[in-house]
Amino acid sequence: MRAAALCLILWGGSVGAGALENCLVPCASEDCDMACFGLTADVCAQSMPDTERDTTIGISQCQVAEFEAWDGALNALWPSLRSYVAEQDIEDNLVDAQRAWIVFRDAECRFQTARWGMGTFRQIAWPACRAHLTAERVVALRAVRREPN
C-alpha cells in the first residue's frame, strides 16, 4: 500500500485502497477474480495529472500499487486457506508450494525484467510482472478455497 499512499501524496487523489477488495468480494469464479486485475493501477493512474499518467515513473508507481493490492489480498486470504487445508491434513504441502511459488515468481520477474536490458521499461516490467503473477496466484488459491471439502 506504500505505492498507493505515494500516489495519493504525489498526485493528491485517492487510489481507492479498497477497490480490489470490493471487486473480489462478490466474485464466485476465477474469471470474475481475474477481471479485477488492473483495477488498482487504473484508479492510481486516474488520480494522477495527465502530464504524469503516461510517464515511466507514473506507470511504475501504479504497477507497484497494483502489486501491493494483490499481495495484500494474498496475505488476507492466507490464514483462512491454511485453516481450510489443515482440515485436510495438507497444510505442509500448501506451505511448501507457496515457498516454491515465491522463488518462482521472483526468478520469473527477474528474467522478464532482464529482457529489457537497461531500457526504461525495465522500471515498469518488475512491478508489472510481480502484480500479474501475484494476481494469478490469488485467483488460483481463491479457487482452492471455494472447493468443497
Where in the sequence is the domain holding 101, given as residue range(s)?
Answer: 2-146
Q: Which residue has the cell 470490493?
A: 22
pLDDT for residue 146: 87
pLDDT for residue 148: 76
Listed range (2-16, 66-80, 130-144) with the worst mean pLDDT:
2-16
pTM value is 0.87
For residues 109-124, one letter each, b for 16 or more C-beta atoms within 10 angstroms of the residue's C-beta and e for the rest, the string is beebbeeeeeeeebbb
pLDDT for residue 6: 38
Residue 63 predicted with pLDDT over 90: yes
Residue 9 predicted with pLDDT over 60: no
SS3 66: helix
Work out how many domains the chain is built from and give that number: 1
pLDDT digits (tens, 9 = 90+) for 95-108: 999 999 999 999 99
pLDDT for residue 145: 87
Q: Which residue has the cell 486457506?
A: 81
| CA 74 distance to own-chain centroid | 8
Residues 20, 36: contact at Cβ < 8 Å?
Answer: yes
pLDDT digits (tens, 9 = 90+) for 94-142: 999 999 999 999 999 999 999 999 989 999 999 999 999 999 999 999 9
Q: C-alpha angle with apex 68: 122 to 66, nearest 5 degrees?
A: 65
Provide the phi-psi class of 147: left if phi over 0, else alpha when psi is between -120 and 50, else beta. beta
Confidence of residue 12 (pLDDT cuts 50, 70, 90): very low
